[in-house]
A and B are shown apart, each in its own frame.
Chain A
Amino acid sequence: MVSDGIVTGALTLACSDFELFDIPPRFQIDPVALDQLWKQLQRQVHPDHFSSQGAADKLLAMQWSVRVNEAYQRLKNPLRRAAYLCELNGAPIRAEDNTAMPHAFLIQQIQWREELDEATDAPAIEALQQQMSAEKQQLLQQCADAIDIRSDWTQAAQSVRALMFIERFEHDLDNRLERLDNN
C-alpha cells in the first residue's frame, strides 16, 4: 500500500502501523516527525471532532482514534518498534516461551541484580541506571544494523529479547528509587 511514499487504496483499521502513518517500515525513524504525524492524524479522527455527529460517526472516530494511538505507541517506543518489525518479517519475539539467552548475557544479568540488592542509596541506583542506559544504546544500535542494513531478523529478535530484560530491570530500579524517595 505504501509505494514511493504515496498512499494508494483504502486505509483500514487492519493496515500496519507503518502504512497507517505512511512511513517506510524501517527501524530508524525521526521521533519529532512521528509526533507531528500522530497529532495530525488525531486532529482528523479524534472523537472530540465528532461529538455533535451521529452514532455511527462517533463509533468510527473512536475506533480510528484508538488505532492511531496504538500505532503511535508502538512506533514511538524503539523496543516495541523493533519487536513489531521482527513480527512483520516472520521472526516473532515469543517472549513468553522463548527465553533462551546467551550465557554471557545471563551472567551479566545476575551481576546487575546483585548490585541492585546491595545498593542502599540513590546514587548507587542512579549509577546502575546510567549503566543500563549505555547498555540499551548499544543494543538499539545492534537492532538498527540488523533490521535496516542486514535484514538479519534472527539477530534483531535476539537483541529485542535482551532489551526486554533490561527494560524490566530498569523498571525495578525505578521502583527502588521511588521507595527510597517515599521513606
Chain B
Amino acid sequence: MALLQISEPGQAPDPHARRIAIGIDLGTTHSLVASVRNGVAECLPDDQGRVILPSAVRYLGNGKRAIGHDALAAQAEDPQNTIVSVKRFMGRGVADIANATQLPYELIDKPGMLSLQTIEGEKSPVEVSAEILATLRQRAEDTFNNDIYGAVITVPAYFDDAQRQATKDAAQMAGLNVLRLINEPTAAAIAYGLDNASEGIYAVYDLGGGTFDVSILRLSQGVFEVMATGGDSALGGDDYDRALADVVLTATGRSLSNAADKSRMLTSARACKQALSDSTEYVFQVELSDGAINHKVTRAEFEACTQHLTRKTLQAVKKALRDANLQPTDIQGVVMVGGSTRMPHVQSAVGELLQCQPLNNVNPDEVVALGAAIQANQLSGNNPNGELLLLDVIPLSLGIETMGGLVERIVPRNQTIPTAMAQDFTTYQDGQTALALHVVQGERDLVVDCRSLARFELRGIPPMAAGAARIRVTFTVDADGLLSVDAIETNSGVQAHIDVKPSYGLSDDQIAAMLQDSFHTAEYDKNARALAEARLEADRMWLAAQSALNADEHLLTADEAAVIRALMKDVLAAKSLETPAAIEAATDALAKGTEAFAAARMNDGIRKALAGKHIGAM
C-alpha cells in the first residue's frame, strides 16, 4: 500500500490542490448552486435531495428566519414578512416598481434603493439576497466539508450597473469571494455549448420569473463571443401570473382587499399557468377571505391575456438581431432557458420568429447554474489548459449629462468588455473652476429617461475662458460589467476618479459589519480574521509567483530569478508571524518584485499568440 504524504510545517500547500469553486444562479423565483466535480458540472442538492432553493426569505422576529421551502410554505399566512422575488427590487427605488400596490409588502423609499419593512425592521434587498446566497454557500460547504474558494454569480444580461453592484454586494455580505459576475444567457450558452459541442451562431432566450434576456452568441472552439444582448429586467413569469390573476378577478367580479389574499391569488395563478402548459383547460381555484373562486380558464384564454408580454420579448429579440447585424435565418439554434419557457405559446412564438426548433435538452432550470460552475472552475485555476474564453458585452449604453439635460453616450451598448472609452468635454462659462459630472445608463437621449448611476465633481480647474478647458472623461468597464469613471483636465492635470457605487451607499465598512453581525455564527476576533486573510493572500501570491516561475522562468536572468525566489522565501517566513501588517508587507514586496516579470510574461504570451499568423500573408 502506498504511504500517504504529509507536508512539512509552514510549507505552502500543493499548488495543484483543487480549489472548490461554485456557480450560483440567483434567480427571481428560485436559486441554485452548482460545482464541477470529477470534470462534470452538477447542481448540489440540499439534505433532502432538492436542488432548487425557492428565493424566499421569511423574517420570524428575534433574529430568526426561514429560507427557501420553509419560507414559501408560510407565504400565505405571513405575506408581509415573507419576501419573494426580491431580485426585482435589487438596485431599484419604489418609483421603479410597476404595480407596487399589488405587492403584499410595505416598501420604504430610500435614495438609490428601496427597503422592505418586516418584523425584523427594515431590510434592504441586498440583505435579503445575501440570506439566500449564504444558504447556498452553506449547502456547498456542507457538501464538500470544506471552505469555498470563490463563486461565480449570474445576473440577467440586461441588469444595469446598479443592479450588478447590488448583486456583488449581496455576495460579499454572504461571505463569498466573487470570482466574477456573468450574464445568465452566457452561462446557459456555456453549459449548452460545451455539452453539445456546438459551433456557430446561437440565440439564448431566457425568460425567468422576473427578468427577460436575449443574447446572440458566436461559438467557436471554446470561445463564447456575445454579439448582442437585449431584454427587460422587469418582465418575467411573474407578469404572466399577474395578468392571469387580473383576468380571473375581472371575470368573477371580485377584488383583493388584503396582503394575504394578494399572495394567495398570485400563488394560484402560478399553479394555473403551470397546469395550462400540459393541459388545455384548468379550473382556477383560490380560497380568499371573502369566499372561494372556482373559475375555468382555457389555454387559449391564458394565451390571449399574456400575448402582449410574449410580443414584448420578441421585439427585444429582433432588436438584438439588428444590433448584431443578423437576420433570423443566421441563427442556427435557440437555447431556451428559465422555467417560463415551458409555456407552449412562448416556445412556438420564438420558434416561428427564428425559424428553428427551440432547444431545451438541458434542464431550463439548471442550465444557468451549471454554466456558472464551469466558469467558476476555470477562474479558480482548476483547469489551466481550459479552452473556455468568454467575450461578453455591456447591455446598456453609458454616458454623461451635458447642457440641457441631454446624454452624451461614451460607451455604446453591446461593446465587448473589458473596455475603456473616452470623450473630451469643456467648460460652459468663463472662469468656471469646477465641473459636475452625472453618469447615466440607458438608450434614451434625455437624462430624465435614463438611470442615474452616480454624480461626482472635478474641482480645481484653473480659471479659463469658456470652452478653453479640455476635460477628458474616461469610462472603464471591467470584466464584471462594472463601471469606474476618471476625469482629467488635460492642461492643468487636475483629476478625479469614482468607482460607480449606486447611491444606496452601503460602504465597505458597513458591509463588513453586517457580515460580522449576521452571517458568521462563530465569534471572530478582528485580529484573527485579519491574520487569516493576510496569510491567505500570502499563499495566493506565493502560489502565483511559483506557477509563473514554473511556466516562464526562461524569460528571467539567473539573478532576476534569484531575487524573486528570495522574496518568496520572505513571504513564507513572514507567514509564521502574528502581525497581519508584517505578512502584508512581505506579500506586497513580492507583488512589486514580480511586476516586471508579469509584464515580460504578458509580452511573451502576446507574441506566442501572433507567431506565424499574419493577415497580410493570407
Interface residues, chain A, CB within 8 Å of chain B? 5, 7, 10-11, 20-24, 26, 29-30, 33-34, 36-37, 39-48, 51-57, 60-62, 64-66, 69-70, 72-73, 174, 177-178, 181-182
12 new A-B contacts, CB < 8 A, other than A37-B610, A37-B613, A52-B544, are A5-B617, A11-B603, A20-B606, A36-B613, A42-B391, A43-B609, A46-B479, A48-B375, A48-B479, A52-B543, A64-B602, A69-B416
* Complex Cα spacing A61 to B390, Å: 15
Chain A residue, CB-CB nearest to B311: A182
Which residues of A lie under 8 Å from residue B591 when comparing CB positions?
A: 54-56
Are the C-beta atoms of B322 and A48 separated by less than 8 Å?
A: no
B315, B391, B540, B605: the one within 8 Å of A54 (CB): B540
B616 within 8 A of A: yes
Known interface pairs A30-B615, A70-B420, A181-B318; A43-B389 also in contact (CB < 8 Å): yes
A43, A47, A177, A178: the one within 8 Å of B418 (CB): A47
Are the C-beta atoms of B420 and A66 separated by less than 8 Å?
A: yes
Number of A-B contacts (CB under 8 A): 130
B541, B548, B615: the one within 8 Å of A33 (CB): B615
Which residues of B lie under 8 Å from residue A21 when comparing CB positions?
A: 610, 615
Interface centre among A44, A47, A60, A178 (most CB of B within 10 A): A44
Known interface pairs A7-B610, A45-B605; A26-B416 also in contact (CB < 8 Å): no
* Complex Cα spacing A181 to B321, Å: 13
Write the nearest CB–CB distance from A175 to chain B, whole angstroms: 10
Write the nearest CB–CB distance from B575 to chain A, whole angstroms: 16
Which residues of A lie under 8 Å from residue B319 when comparing CB positions?
A: 178
B180 within 8 A of A: yes
Known interface pairs A39-B389, A56-B591; A62-B478 also in contact (CB < 8 Å): yes
* Complex Cα spacing A177 to B319, Å: 10
Q: List 18 A-B contacts (CB under 8 A).
A: A5-B614, A7-B607, A7-B610, A23-B614, A39-B391, A41-B610, A43-B609, A44-B608, A46-B479, A48-B479, A52-B381, A54-B540, A55-B591, A56-B594, A60-B598, A64-B602, A73-B415, A73-B416
Write the nearest CB–CB distance from A35 to chain B, whole angstroms: 9
B389, B540, B598: the one within 8 Å of A48 (CB): B389
B285 within 8 A of A: no
Which residues of B lie under 8 Å from residue A36 when comparing CB positions?
A: 613
Are the C-beta atoms of A41 and B418 separated by less than 8 Å?
A: no
Write the nearest CB–CB distance from A106 to chain B, whole angstroms: 25
Which residues of B lie under 8 Å from residue A30 when comparing CB positions?
A: 615, 618
Are the C-beta atoms of A178 and B479 separated by less than 8 Å?
A: no
* Complex Cα spacing A156 to B543, Å: 53
A20, A23, A181: the one within 8 Å of B615 (CB): A23
* Complex Cα spacing A42 to B617, Å: 22
* Complex Cα spacing A23 to B415, Å: 23
B346 within 8 A of A: no
Write the nearest CB–CB distance from B458 to chain A, whole angstroms: 22
B380 within 8 A of A: yes
Q: Which of B370-398 contact A (CB under 8 A)?
A: 375, 378-381, 389-391
B179 within 8 A of A: yes
